[in-house]
A and B are shown apart, each in its own frame.
Chain A
Amino acid sequence: MINNLLIVEDVAEAREWLTRIAQDAFPNAAISTVQTIAGALAKADELNWDMALIDLGLPDGSGLDVIRRIRKLSPDTICVVTTVLGEDAHIVAALSAGAQGYLLKGQPSTLIQRQLVQLQQGMPALSPTIARRIMEHFQRTGPIDGETKKLTTRELEVLTLVARGLRNADVALALGLAETTIATHIKTIYRKLGISTRAEAALHANRLGLT
């Protein structure tokens, strides 16, 4: 259940629009809105949010910092990136910072509402483009220390199908698995993405002689 939800968004119209959608998706939730990173960080310290919709490009900084703070303070919070253009690189960065999903603000309200509900039910959304970026990311990262950072064969299969444009339900059908299993795989991929990104950073630091 989503009892409290934070919206970090600097454009007033978008803020109101998102608030309406969130209200429709979660009628019982208490919704707070902030316009700045500073405000969002303060809100993050205030209480453990069930869900946060965070815009990446804000006037006083990057939404990535907000995601990191929230994930650190309350790991159970579902962080969702909301963005207009959603440049691939930023989205992968956001996901590896701990975001569990992203929403393109250009999409129809009904679609966004549906995705929010699915996220709350533990079925993270993953678009084909992002699936591709994630695969590329893991290929680049390569096999580094420990098995946990590598994708399993099954996870790779899921990513590949998603990258071809199949929805979770279709992926489940194609692989003969339950849709919830697919969701679990995607969540694992997200988690590994975060780990592998940290490992990659560590690796870079090591190469540069910083550690």
Chain B
Amino acid sequence: MLVVLLGLSTLAAASALFVAVNQPWLGVVLSPGDDGSVVISRVHRTDFEPNLSAGGRLDAIGSENTGSMGVSALDIVEEPDTLNTYDAINAFRARQSALSIIQNQSRVWLDVTSASGDAHRVHVAPFLARPAWSLPFEFWLQLFVGCGGMVLGGWVWILRRREAGPFYLAISGLGLMASALSAAIYGTRELSLPEELLTVLSSINHAGTSSFGAAIICLLAVYPKRIASDRQLIVIWVTTALATGASIGQLLASPSIGIYTLMVAQFIAIGALIAVQLFLSQRNPVARAALGWFGLSILAGTSVFVFAIATPLLIGLEPQASQASAFGVILLIYAGLALGVARYRLFDLGTWAFRLGSYFVGAILLVGLDAFFIYGVAVERVPAFGIALLTVGLVYLPIRNAIGAQLNYSPNLTRQDFPQLVEIALERAPERQIAQWRGLLTESLNPLTIEIVDTVSKAALIEDGQGLLIPGHLNLPSLRLQFANGGRRLFSQRDVDHVQNLVDLITHALKSSDAREQGVRQERTRIARDLHDNIGAQLLRTLHTADLPRKDAIISETLADLRDIISNAQGNGMALDEVLAELRYETDERLALAGLQLRWHYAGAADLGISARLAHTLRSVVRECASNTIRHAQATELSIEICEVNGEIDLVVSDDGKGFDETDAKPGRGLNNIYSRILGAGGSLSITGTNGTRIGARFCLAEGEVA
């Protein structure tokens, strides 16, 4: 569909270009002089005689076959419809016809009066066709406007083919194209066009303009809300066709009645329809926003007129507006209409309307102040403009910003939001959590309804800003909010950003809270495991030990372990060197009581962490060995060497006692315990009994941390 549309508009543009180019060409650019004469403002060809140059006056044009014919500014008027009477129009057409015949001759002469006042007759051979590059900017602008209108209207219709509004928008686009393309051809002619062509083009222009107006009326009659029946719409078309036909057929009192009365009537109808639609859409935010685009586009169009006509007048230049510029403005308005019908970004309209409107007011203020200073206070032009600019900058802009801050009020994260968010994140009961979350959203956006929906990944607007989707997280469901601020406005992009901020914050808070809870759980698990592995196992051993002193020994060990677990649970962690220092001190004290010497050697990295479980293993092994030595070895010295290399502990405990018989395959219960502990910690153990007892153990530091 889009391809067809683009093809059609390209075809139309190409046809217009074809017609415009296929006219005989003199190679000059003519413009009206002050006194009704025709001035040669530019010369496009280089093969002219030197007497024909820019700045000269063209008095007459003629040829061998036709004779000479005088030329006046009336002949190069852009829009002949502005002529007062049908007689004048018909006379104009007759002259165009005659001029066209002269232009079609193979050789023509031009009677030129140069700037210095000398009269010359210059002979020129017109080209058969006009080169495209010589067509003025106005031609291309109108070509662009025509095609742009068609494409815009057609595109919206393709998007919303079932609706009446876009259909009429497309019709108006067609009208705009017909009007703009025909005007492009005759408005930018070099000097003349054949009468028949001129009449046809004028009629097309006329019909196009009228149908543009009629289509816009129909559009507003059915969009946003239908307020007229099809029958009434047909009446509009019939009336328009009759009026247009009467005008083209020169049946009315004057051309201005035929053309401009209809136009004014259409404008009034459009204004009235907008008012009615605004009234009807009081409770419909989408319709209001669409109408907002209409109003905005008309405002934007008006502001262009201000810059094109009012500003040049005030700074002392000729107004720059021509029919071509008017078409440019119409396209602007038209684009606004198209956006409104297409419901494009209606939700952000408020912001845009304010921005454009406030700039417009600022510009009018600037121009007005400038004029006041020049004409009211009689200040020189340049300083006047400076003063006006300064005043606008210092007075108007701050006021504008203040108003903007008021109007564009949107929910921002406030101080109160943070405690609320934290509370929600820390709330454990899911129902209460959800209720609080909904409460927060209601507070900041005041939607009419909040529904739970399926998973949403990002905050987004739906239904042109009537709804807002909010992603969920874990317990919080994804939500759909409908009708912001109780239906009085649409959700805007700001709301989306705000909500996304809230969601990000709450997600972060929830994640942190989860991580904390998980940390607590892990810590509990670790403590439970330590209690089970160490304290539980030892108490069990105690329970099944008949030997009283041994019972006491195990219980005192158990207490030491309990102390480790508690100190570990307090987050102090356990340092290997600290564990070793305590062990050394304790062992030394025990040995001293029994009259033994301790030789202690430690080599390894400082600041090593160690798990409670490993500390326990280490302590048990050293204690068991020391006990054995004290009780059985009849030794004088106990040596303990501990090496830490690459995360491995190498422990050697040896005494100078009597040793034991290695062939006796009945190790004591204590040694048995040592054995199972070391193996449990993933280590290895070696025991020799010759030359005193020597026990070597090796285990990994990291194992305990992982387990």
A interface residues, Cβ below 8 angstroms from B: 84-88, 104-108, 110-111, 114, 127-129, 132, 163-167, 169-170
Contacts and interface: CB of A to CB of B under 8 A. Distances in A.
Given A108-B552, A111-B593, A167-B592, A128 B582 contact: yes
Contacts of A167: 585, 588-589, 592
Contacts of B593: 110-111, 114
Interface residues of B, number: 27
Which A-B residue pairs are the 8 nearest by beta carbons? A165-B584, A106-B559, A165-B581, A128-B581, A106-B556, A165-B585, A167-B588, A128-B585
B553 interface: yes
B457 interface: no
Contacts of A84: 559
A170 B599 CA distance: 11
A92 to B, nearest CB: 13
Given A106-B560, A165-B580, 12 more contacts: A85-B562, A111-B590, A114-B593, A127-B582, A127-B585, A128-B585, A163-B581, A164-B581, A165-B584, A166-B584, A167-B588, A167-B589
A103 to B, nearest CB: 12
A85 B565 CA distance: 10
Interface in B53-78: none
A31 B607 CA distance: 45
B651 to A, nearest CB: 15
B359 interface: no
A108 B589 CA distance: 11
Contact of B588 (A87, A106, A108, A170): A170
A163 B581 CA distance: 7
A17 to B, nearest CB: 11
Contacts of B590: 108, 111
Label chain B's interface by main secondary structure.
helix
Contact of A104 (B558, B559, B581, B583): B559
B600 A165 contact: yes
B578 interface: yes
Given A85-B566, A87-B566, A164 B584 contact: yes
Contacts of A106: 555-556, 558-560
10 contacts: A108-B553, A108-B556, A108-B590, A127-B585, A132-B578, A164-B577, A165-B581, A166-B584, A166-B585, A167-B585
Interface in B398-419: none
A110 B592 CA distance: 11
A37 B562 CA distance: 26
B623 to A, nearest CB: 11
B556 A165 contact: no
B409 to A, nearest CB: 42
A85 B555 CA distance: 12
B10 interface: no
A179 to B, nearest CB: 12
Contacts of B552: 108
A107 B559 CA distance: 9
Contacts of B592: 167, 169
A128 B585 CA distance: 7
B508 interface: no
Contacts of B106: none
Contacts of B566: 85, 87
Contacts of A132: 578, 581
B584 A128 contact: yes
Nearest to A126: B585
Nearest to B570: A87
Given A107-B556, A165-B600, A167-B589, A86 B584 contact: no
* Residue picked from A127, A132, A163, A165, most chain B C-beta under 10 Å: A165
Contacts of A104: 559
Nearest to B549: A108
B563 interface: yes
A5 B579 CA distance: 33
B261 interface: no
A102 B570 CA distance: 21
B501 interface: no
B567 interface: yes
A89 B584 CA distance: 22
Contacts of B583: 165
Contacts of A129: 578, 581-582
A104 B552 CA distance: 14
A126 to B, nearest CB: 9
